[in-house]
Amino acid sequence: YAVQMYKAPLTFDQLFTEVQWRKNKSNVILVFLESASSVDSRKFWGLNDRLPWLDNVSNDWTSFLNMHANGMTSDMGHIATLLWVEPLEYDYKWTRYESFTGIAAPLATFFNKLWYSTTFISAATLEFLNQRDFLKNVWYQTIIWEEAFEDKAKYTFDAAPDADLYEKAIEVVKAQTWSFFLTFQTISSHTPYNTPYGRSMEWMYRYEDETFSKFYEDLKATNFFDNGI
């Protein structure tokens, strides 16, 4: 069904217009913020005001109000964002990742063709749904997984908390020597809630909001925003 639906999909190349003689390449960071929803953002017309610091970060830049990654699970969000297809159906004999890989040219491939370095970071295990193979198949050049966080305290899903993930992301940014596309996924806001702040939903939201805000400030200190988005 998916192959029929996306028999001749657009590629990411077709979404951009090349500007002749323009040589600068913006660095790009894509963050999958686990379980985040506009319902918890006052700025984005949510019912709650649980992410005030994140809302403040969005005030500094452009907000994309018509961009959506459908689905109720992380893998569906990855497919929608990294492959630009809607994960409407899949074969239960395989994982969702396997069902949709190969239908469209991945986002990382678009950056690879522009001679970017492409990196994906996760503090949680990549064995779930065979995510490790998916990331290889969508052509991330470098994949940093749970082994890089072995010396860190463990919380949700026996993974290092988001603060350690953000710290690793800053290390990667500082180590780059040419244009880069960095993607990473957080984990601390996934149920069952277990963060360095506490195990309740209230503590989870506070931790999620404050750690992302600190990452943003640390990123600004690297001068990333002089040539990045």
Q: What is the mean pLDDT of the chain?
A: 87
Strands 180-185 and 28-32: what pairing? parallel
Q: Helix, strand, coil % (nearest 5) of the chain?
A: 40, 10, 50
| Arithmetic mean of pLDDT, 131-150 | 94
Name residue 180's beta-bridge partners.
117
Q: Per residue in 12-63, pLDDT tens? A: 676 666 666 666 688 999 999 998 888 899 988 889 999 999 999 988 888 8
**Length of the chain, in residues:** 229
Which structure tokens are listed for 81? 């964002």
Report residue 91's pLDDT band, with 50, 70 and 90 as the boundaries.
Answer: low
Contact 86, 2 (CB under 8 A): no
Instruction: Name the range with the highest mean pLDDT among 75-79, 134-138, 148-152.
Output: 148-152
Which structure tokens are listed for 76? 């569906």
Closest CA to 141 of 117, 174, 165, 121: 117
Separation of CA 39 from chain center: 19
Helix (H) or strand (E) holding 139: none
What does the radius of gyration of the chain's CA atoms come to, in whole angstroms? 18
The CA distances from residue 35 to 6, 39, 50, 71, in Å, are 27, 11, 13, 11
